[in-house]
Amino acid sequence: MKLLRRGDSDNSDKRDVEVAESSTAPEAESAEQAGKGRPTPKRRDAESKRRGPVAPAPLTAKEARARKKANRGNKEERKVAAAERRATAAERRARMLAGEDKYLLPRDKGPVRAYVRDIVDARRNLVGLFMPLALVLIMAMFVSPALQAIVTLAMLIMMMFMAMEGVWLGRKINNQVRERFPDTPDGGFKLGWYAFVRASQIRKLRAPKPRVRPGDAI
For residue range 8-45, what is the model confidence (pLDDT) as tens digits? 444 444 444 444 444 444 444 444 444 445 566 566 55
Mean local confidence (pLDDT), 141-162: 80
Close Cβ partners of 217 (under 8 Å, ≥ 6 residues apart): 122
Residue 43 lies in a domain: no
Question: In sequence order, which ranges of the chain are alpha helices (DSSP H)?
Answer: 2-36, 43-51, 61-72, 75-98, 111-121, 130-143, 148-180, 189-200
Residue 48 lies in a domain: no
Q: Residue 130 — pLDDT band, cuts 50, 70, 90?
A: confident
Residue 154 lies in a domain: yes
Residue 148 lies in a domain: yes
Q: Report the chain's mean pLDDT, rounded to a whole number.
A: 76
Does residue 113 sit in the same domain as residue 99?
A: no
- What domain count does the chain have? 3
* Domain residue limits at 76: 71-103
Does residue 99 sit in the same domain as residue 186?
A: no
What is the model's pLDDT at position 174? 94
Find the range with the poorest average confidence among 123-127, 148-152, 170-174: 148-152
Contact (Cβ atoms closer than 8 angstroms) between residue 128 and residue 203: yes
Residue 185 lies in a domain: yes
| Position 177 pLDDT exceeds 60 | yes
Contact (Cβ atoms closer than 8 angstroms) between residue 181 and residue 111: yes
Does residue 132 sit in the same domain as residue 191?
A: yes
Contact (Cβ atoms closer than 8 angstroms) between residue 189 and residue 183: no
Residue 197 lies in a domain: yes
Does residue 97 sit in the same domain as residue 118?
A: no
Find the range with the poorest average confidence among 44-48, 88-92, 192-196, 205-209: 44-48
What is the model's pLDDT at position 58? 60
